[in-house]
Structure 1
Amino acid sequence: MLSPCFSEVTLRFWGVTASVVGFVLHARLEVEPLYHVLSVSTPSGENMLSKEKVRAFQIEIVGYVIEVTLLVLDMHDFDVILGMDWLAANHASIDCSRKEVAFNPPLMAILSLKEEGQGRYLREVDVSLSSEPVVRDYPDVFLEELPGLPPYREIEFAIELEPGTVPISRAPYRMTLAELKELKVQLQELLDKGFIRPSVSPWGAPVLFVKKKDGSMRLCIDYRELNKVTVKNKYPLPMIDDLFDQLQGATVFSKIDLRSEYHQLRIKDSDVPKIAFCSRYGHYEFIVMYFGLTNAQAVFMDLMNIVFREFLDTFVIMFIDDILIYSKTEAEHEEHLRMVLKTLRANKVYAKFSKSKIEAITSWPRPSTVSEVRSFLGLAVLTVPDGSGSFVIYSDASKKGLGCVLMQQGKVVAYASRQLKSHEQNYPTHDLELATVVFALKIWRHYLYGEKIQIFTDHKSLKYFFTHKELNMRQGRWLELVMHYDCEILYHPGKANVVADALSRKPTLRQKIIVAQSNDPYLVEKRCLAEAGQAIEFSIFSNGGLLFEKCLCVPTDSAVKTELLTEAHSSPFSMHPGLSRTLRDFTVIWVVLDRLTKSAHFIPGKSTYTASKWAQLYMSEIVRLHGVPVSIVSDRDARFTSKFWKGLQAATSTRLDFSMAFYPQTDGQTERLNQVLEDMLRACALEFPSSWNSHLHLMEFAYNNNFQATIGMAPFEALYGKCCRSPIYWDEVGEQRLMGPELVQSTNEAIQKIRSRMQTAQSRQKSYADVRRKDLEFNVGNKVFLKVAPMKGVLRFERRGKLSPHFVGPFEILERIDLVAYRLALPPSLSAVHDVFHVSMLRKYVPDPSHVVDYEPLEIDENLSYTEQLVEVFAREVKMLRNRKIPLVKVLWRNHRVEEATWEREDDMRARYPELFEEYNFRG
């Protein structure tokens, strides 16, 4: 490192008499003029003049600062050249054979010379584990290859099979020519090392290759079938957080990787045949443990814990094949490292020199943008507790969640936060803040128990919690827990408690927009103008947001725009009503159809219209054009069953006929027209996404001008007695007009023709329906079952409501309305349902005293549907699908027997019924 303001320059040793600095670099240094101009001769024979020098230029090498005087030369290839004067002043000696420079007194590092052309670059040698004197004393531990079969150890890898398991053998997988060539090579290597041997075992697993990062191929054995029938070893692997907690106070670390760790453990002799594998070149079996076996990690972890038992959690932590040695001082670490290597040698466990684990940090590129700087600063923010106690907790709660921060000596140890549970959302503010304290004490108990703790909260009354005379039952339980800790609750203003506050509160969309405004150059420019009072249309709100005509400016940030559109269109709190609300706030379409001519009217409206408003539309859009109808068939919408609508039709002598409940075939032509209109709306929505309602009259015109098979002509022609003059085909009809008696005669003929064709069409459609129709007839007093259906969206894993109840009852028939309709005696729970039903929804009830069905009554909705309810979860299982685990739960539904329980996806059930899963604790 160069001082005062340079950290990256090129140093070169060239064997020159004096040390020199380049012309570019000297411009940023303090220079002094020379008394005399010096002429410097270079190895290339060129002469250069030097008129200035830099005195006491500092060079830092491995923490040591060395001063040197540099002559200024007009050179551009190198920044600094260190000459013989600098080497002599620091008592440097050069070892040409080893290409090293040693200093006396030493600089605590070895500097080597790297050849390049005629000169030498001066660089620091990488300090690695292999260069440590302690490691050099144990060369037999760090071998390039394992010396052969491992010794018989206290632990051997055993395979315990489930009872009744028979040998499993699978045919070899097909391989490419390159894979077959590689297979032959690797099999020979394993044979030479003694790791495998020919086998005659009835077991056999196929072989496959997996490409490594460097392009080479790794030999893998597909032991999945064997793993399925192997009894699992539940030996616990340590938690990563617990391992980090052991490093308190440590400053020096060494990490050792084991070489081919699984090959250093033998297979139990009786279990060797079970891991046999088959290939194109023969049947073999492993004598040593191989990766891919289900219990391999647990067994090897057990072995390493036995080997290092006396050192564990003292200065060694283990995670499978990784050994981490930690110490507080270098001298202590040297002794610890020697003890570990001695143990490895005694147990004939071999290690390897791995590449640097901190290479990604040491070679981290210099940040060049604001985002990269923020990312770099946020990489390492947590510290390991040093064992001195005195922890500080900052806590905060909101209506969204709980958040807390654990700190020690001003450094963050851990963050914690979670969402509120459903019952916690009803807590008062005082209990919510106290719940955060309890949450922190529970989750960090391993840090806090027995230590002195200060807890800061922005809820002032909480500091008097220990002196409250009256506590509710919940607070009493929490007080009993808090009293086990040596803690003090202090008040901290909310504005200062920013970290815990951020953890507990979800940032609002408005806040995200305001933050993103600072990254938009256009808005930054407008903000500057607004602050200077030069942009009248722009202003700055009290929360710091930039406004345009009192509206918050949205920056050019794709993430913010996506979230904004999601909130506006898909959020459950502001669900976008669809295209119908885009311009004129229309939400519904009133469809009116003439039974004779099939002509239709599509009238847009709003769901907030009252019955009187619909009556006005009826008079202006229907009666004005067609007169008063003789009868009207409609559904049972509240607008059409209201007293106002009935009174209006009674005044005009129009008979009202309502379609039968849950039997759309009563008014089939209107239902069919609704389907056609939906298709037209979808097509129109693509062409006119924001103004479909203004094109509704075009849809009406297109429908009425379209040929109808039932009447044999277009509805327009049936209504007006002539073909429509389409705006698309102006010359299709011509200018011929029908006048006087000819018009009357042609109209009558058209009506007769329409009625005849309608009768033919109805007969044809009736014959289609009669094919599968079975006449049912009931008498007054009979009891029948009523057809119901589970709500849509209740999905089952592999089955969709097949076992759901399809009928409820029985109910007594009170009246026969006509040939196909009956009135039923419904219970009070179904009072909202119309009591007249089509015969197709009824099933005959046959009394049988021996057949008693006991079930909970269904909660039937007005549309004769019900929502299936989950009542119990009593089993759990994990299925594998394409190497992906799918957790399933066996659930019992209301009104079903235990035999009818179904397997469902656990994540779906947890999302829909979280309260049931709180009562169960599954162990997978």
Structure 2
Amino acid sequence: ELQIEIIKENHDDLNQGAHAGYAKTYRRIASIYYWPKMADTIQRYVYSCDICQKAGHRRHGPRGYLQPIPIPQQPFEVVTMDFIMDLPPSEEYNAVLVIVDKLTKYAHFIPCTTQINEEETAKLFHDHIWCHYGLPRQIITDRDSRWTGAFWEHLVSMLGIRRALTTAYHPQADGQTEIMNQTAEIAIRAFTNPAKDNWVKILSGFAYSYNTSTHTSTNQTPAFLLRGFQPLTTADLLAQTSERIHRPERESQSAEDFKESMDVSLELTKDALRVAQSHQQKYYNENKTEILFEPGDLVLINPHSLQLLKHKKGKGDKLNMRYEGPFEVLERVSPVAYRIRLPGSYRIHPVINIAHLESYKDSPLEFGKRPVKHIPRKDFEQMPEREVEKIVSERFVKRGAKRVKQYKIRWLGEGPDEDSWRTEKELKNAPDILKEWRTRDRSSKDNPQ
């Protein structure tokens, strides 16, 4: 059907949508097409996309409060800079420098290496920012050594640029760069080949797609806010002939109206950013609601939150899909745990804590056959067979001349008959449970009955 083909082109295609979210996909399509219940159709298509669900970050329940940055007064007055590190080798690169304008949200994605030093970073900054937009008044970075090195300190001081540093392990202090990094990683995961060595060729197409998509914070595209016009896409050319393109009545009218319209657009953008920041603060700082699964629901497993993957730098782990599945929920065994139907080849216990599960939406039949992203993962063979519920006792056993402490483990979803003894080394994936046991053990010794 024509409507489905239009959605596919503007969501699945690298240069048109690059698996953008619902809001951006809807605005891109709505600027050209209309049909009844279009928003609902687009929303169901995007939310049931297999690739988006597996590749994307889930942004619910973040830790720490959001610290908004003051709104800039003009484009590239304030920029945020960060790296996406430890990507698999592509050509001679294995990292990306991400530079984003704080006002317009216009972004640059510059391939580089993890060995890049301060001088090389400054050279990229010169070539991609100074030469096009002039000097920013402020640069927002993390506390990475690339920004705090002596050369960078000297360069920033010499140019009279203030430098704001966010906290190293709390990237929400900026928020913009962290979300941008996640967006770029999603696009790379979605379009990279199985060998994961072609992502450099994807960057320019993704940059175009991002910069020509409406940003939810500004209600405009970054390209329009920066340059004053929206670059044409293939869909624009097909939908609009040259006779229908609006032209100004007079040359003077064009210049005057252009300046006035851009001034108004930038002021409206600043107001929109203030409102967006207020909503973002409320979203990040409020308590999250509980989610419940029913038997028959489909879910994804997050191996990253389970801390079960053995990452090796430069081996492509960063571009692995963030979620594995989908799998069927069989039953709810406790308020926070579910029994999942898993393939026999998986060495993971089928009872999994809700903290490691995400809901999955199956694609409706009306959308036909859609792309599915699945690259076999050998790292799942390293997953433990069970998940620890609690420690019930401890003991010492002799191993040669040594005495080794063991802990009696109650496994999640199983009874006392299945308890077994494990050493501390074997409990490396359950540090909180081990810490809780030791605290309780010390407390009982300090306060004997």
Q: Which has the larger radius of gyration?
A: 1
The structure where helix makes up a greater share of residues is 2
Bigger proportion of residues as strand: 1
- TM-score bracket, shorter-length normalisation: 0.3 to 0.5
Higher relative contact order (CA 8 A, sep 6+): 2
TM-score, with length taken from structure 2:
0.46
Q: What is the TM-score of this pair, normalised by structure 1?
A: 0.23
